Amino acid sequence: MNLELSEEQEAVRQLAKDFVARDVAPYAVEWDRSENVDKSIVKKLGALGFLGLTVPEEYGGSGGDHLAYCLVTEELGRGDSSVRGIVSVSLGLVAKTIAAWGDEEQKRHWLPRLTSGDAVGCFGLTEPGTGSDAGSLTTRAVRDGADYVINGSKMFITNGTWADVVLLFARTNDTPGHKGVSAFLVPADAPGLTRRTIHGKLGLRGQATAELVLEDVRVPATALMGPEGKGFSIAMSALAKGRMSVAAGCVGIAQAALDAAVGYAGEREQFGRPIAGYQLVQELISDISVDVEAARLLTWSVADLVDRGQDFATAASRAKLFASEAAVRAANNALQVFGGYGYIDEYPVGKLLRDARVMTLYEGTSQIQKLIIGRALTGVSAF
């Protein structure tokens, strides 16, 4: 087994580091306080090819492998998870899914715009009453001649107010459970589609998170992506890779926590010497370090499976579970190193802890990941 990065992967990683240092990190606190990332960041991400990683070049993508994608996602998460979320959703959940499931017309229409940053995508699955139980969603799409008419609402949608296209999941028949769900590519400016920004979040404050309400939204039958009734399978395939992206972002949070803790411990003096010299502070830092390295290797192993065409869904759940919980531990330990200063937003670790906490909730809670892993190991479904 060779864990050494290729020259191309190292170059992509360095490109992401330089971008974060120049265009993300200096503004992260301001964006967090104002609850608004500067939208011009999208075009910058597109220009560097970060919104087209793993998408075929014939559709405007920048190619590359999934490990390179994880490296970029980690660096973005290290700088500001709100920016990382733009890429994870618009590319990871939407563009990649169109590339995998869309027909030729859908690919030609949406992928060049999404990969360049000329358009942003959002993933319309979660509803006010359905989170973990996505198969029970209630948004309806009724066939009316050459069109579908959609009614319903979606909640906690990342990129929701920025999006130009919604990868929307709706029930197209009365078959109970997930078998009645279909996927649609709905233009965000479609008449009857309204969006409301969700404010007051604990973390990811700069991220554009929205509630979507659809009232008699009419789309042509060509907006249907994949066969009717296959929407749940499409959503789950997207989320499996999405969990790899979330895990990589969590590695970035944990690495940022380690960087901050080590830097502060070397500067802060108590009892006549830097606190880095005290064993209990070293214990906190070493615990963060172990979490970073373990989470990183779990995440890289998923990327390796994807790139080799192997089954990766259980590994993705394992990586997402560990990395998200590790990011919370890492940020919490870093805050302990900072003491009282960690509790104010002049220093980075409070934001890291707030941003890390949601990682154990979205794209499948930690409890759902445990059910998925347990089912894979035992062959017995918990649902």
Looking at residue 60, its amino acid is: G
Residue 363 known to be catalytic: yes
> Tell me: the pLDDT tens digits for 172-217?
998 877 889 999 999 999 999 999 999 999 999 999 999 999 999 9
Q: How many angstroms separate the CA atoms of 124 and 154, rounded?
A: 6
The catalytic residue among 35, 74, 75, 363 is 363
Residue with more model confidence, 368 or 1: 368
- Are 251 and 219 within one domain? no
**93-125 in b/e burial notation, b at 16+ Cβ within 10 A?**
bbbbbbbebbeeebbebbbbbbbbbebbbbbbb
In a domain, 331, yes or no: yes
The two structure tokens encoding residue 65: 């492998």
Question: What stretch of H or E contains 330?
Answer: helix 313-338
Q: Are 97 and 150 in contact (CB under 8 A)?
A: no
pLDDT in tens, 25-43: 999 999 999 999 999 999 9
Domain termination residue (choose one: 71, 90, 120) = 120
Q: Is 285 a domain residue?
A: yes
| Same domain? 16 vs 111 | yes
CA 257 – CA 263 distance, rounded (Å): 10
pLDDT band (50, 70, 90) for residue 1: low
pTM of the model: 0.95
Helix (H/G/I), strand (E/B), else coil: 128:
coil
Whether residues 72 and 140 share a domain: the answer is: no
User: Are 20 and 44 within 8 A, CB to CB?
Assistant: no
User: pLDDT tier at 338 (50, 70, 90 boundaries)?
Assistant: very high
Specify the number of domains making up the chain.
3
62 found inside a domain: yes
Could you tell me if 143 and 221 are in contact, meaning their C-beta atoms sit under 8 angstroms apart?
yes
How high is the pLDDT of residue 359? 96
* 383 inside domain: no
Q: Per-residue pLDDT for 365 more than 80?
A: yes
Whether 60 and 178 share a structural domain: no
User: Which of left, alpha, beta for 130 (phi over 0: left; psi -120 to 50: alpha)?
Assistant: beta
- Report which of 254, 266, 271 is spatially closest to residue 353, judged by C-alpha positions: 254
pLDDT at position 93 is 97
In angstroms, the Cα distances linking 20 to 23, 34, 297 are 5, 19, 22
Q: What is the model's pLDDT at position 2?
A: 78
Q: Are residues 244 and 221 in the same domain?
A: no
Residues 371 and 264 in one domain: yes
Longest dimension (CA), the chain: 79
Q: Which domain holds residue 366?
A: 233-378
Q: What's the mean pLDDT when you consider all of the chain? A: 96
**Does 98 lie in the same domain as 59?**
yes
